[in-house]
Amino acid sequence: MIVVILAGGFGTRIADHSELPKPMIPIGGRPIISHILDIYSLQGYKEFIIAAGYKREVIKNYFKKNKKKFSNMNIQVVDTGLKTFTGNRLKKLKKFIKGENFMLTYGDGLCNIDLNKLVKFHLNHNKMATITAVHPPARFGELVLDGNSVKTFKEKPQLQKGWINGGFFVFKKKFLNLIPNKTVMLEREPLSKIIKAQEFMAYKHNNFWYCMDNRRDHSNLEKMCKFKKVPWL
């Protein structure tokens, strides 16, 4: 099954790397997009379409320069426009996507998801789309109190209340026909249509997920790269 990675974003909120496309910002000495490729390829998914935009040549040159490293994968970098919205980026890839279903994720999120279970869930319910629902990581340490006595303290744990969009989607290819030709965010009108039609299901992931949205997130991911085993693999 083909995997689409939305990689057209700017890295403007991560000041030290604002000159790079966001997916090319390094963590642990290599771009975050290469870690995303690991998540998929180590579970057997090796066909990738990268929807590039801002400084697309930086992405193309990286994969050209590191061809041997990614020799076990088929990676296409497609120019989808500089300021194109996510819905339009995806629609521009229609002719490149083969098969009845495809996977999609963002170029800034890491997760230790079991992709085979995700795909099985999608195929079993036979709806138009599946989104991975995750618990957001806490921004602050969590205290469990008994009166004024501290019983436990966890430094920035994964919250267990509330669900958010974690990326790691699976779509039927015919979903692309629902994306209008006008400028549109994937997360708005197209997904609203399938919610209304009851064609959108959520796969609940209760384990590690982290998005590199700002400088602090980048710093936290850098620290995680010093672990013996990174938490997203």
**Structure confidence by residue, pLDDT tens digits, 81-108:** 988 999 999 999 999 999 999 999 999 9
Tokens at residue 59, please? 């992405």
In a domain, 36, yes or no: yes
What per-residue confidence (pLDDT) applies to 120? 98
Domain extent at residue 95: 3-224
In a domain, 124, yes or no: yes
Owner of token pair 């006595």: 149
| Neighbour count for residue 139 (Cβ, 10 Å) | 8
pLDDT band at 148 (very low <50, low <70, confident <90, very high): low
- Could you tell me how far CA 200 lies from the centroid of its own chain? 18
What per-residue confidence (pLDDT) applies to 101? 98
In a domain, 165, yes or no: yes
Do the beta carbons of residue 157 and residue 144 sit within 8 Å? no
In a domain, 183, yes or no: yes
Closest CA to 60 of 21, 99, 26, 94: 21
What per-residue confidence (pLDDT) applies to 224? 96
- What average pLDDT does the chain have? 90
Beta pairing partners, 221: none
In a domain, 230, yes or no: no
What per-residue confidence (pLDDT) applies to 124? 97
Closest CA to 108 of 193, 213, 215, 225: 213
Mean pLDDT to the nearest integer, 67-94: 95
Strands 30-31 and 26-27: antiparallel
CATH of the domain at 167: 3.90.550.10
Closest CA to 53 of 4, 19, 7: 7
pLDDT surpassing 80 at residue 146: no
Query: Which CA distances in Å does 144 have to 103, 147, 152, 154, 159?
Result: 39, 10, 5, 9, 13
In a domain, 233, yes or no: no
pLDDT band at 232 (very low <50, low <70, confident <90, very high): very high
Domain count, the chain: 1
Give the integer Cα–Cα distance in Å for 142 and 133. Answer: 22
Write out pLDDT tens, residues 7-49: 988 766 675 666 889 999 999 999 999 999 999 999 999 999 9
Q: What is the DSSP letter of 21?
A: B
pLDDT surpassing 90 at residue 137: no
Mean pLDDT to the nearest integer, 76-83: 93
Least confident of 19-23, 34-38, 155-159, 173-177: 155-159
What per-residue confidence (pLDDT) applies to 140? 55
Residue 46 CB contacts under 8 Å (≥ 6 apart), including other chains? 40, 72, 73, 74
Do the beta carbons of residue 40 and residue 66 sit within 8 Å? no
What per-residue confidence (pLDDT) applies to 10? 78
Higher pLDDT residue, 170 or 151?
170
Beta pairing partners, 33: none
Least confident of 9-13, 65-69, 179-183, 195-199: 9-13
Higher pLDDT residue, 106 or 152?
106
pLDDT surpassing 80 at residue 181: yes
Give the integer Cα–Cα distance in Å for 51 and 90. Answer: 7
What per-residue confidence (pLDDT) applies to 205? 96
| Neighbour count for residue 191 (Cβ, 10 Å) | 21
In a domain, 229, yes or no: no
What per-residue confidence (pLDDT) applies to 149? 58
In a domain, 8, yes or no: yes
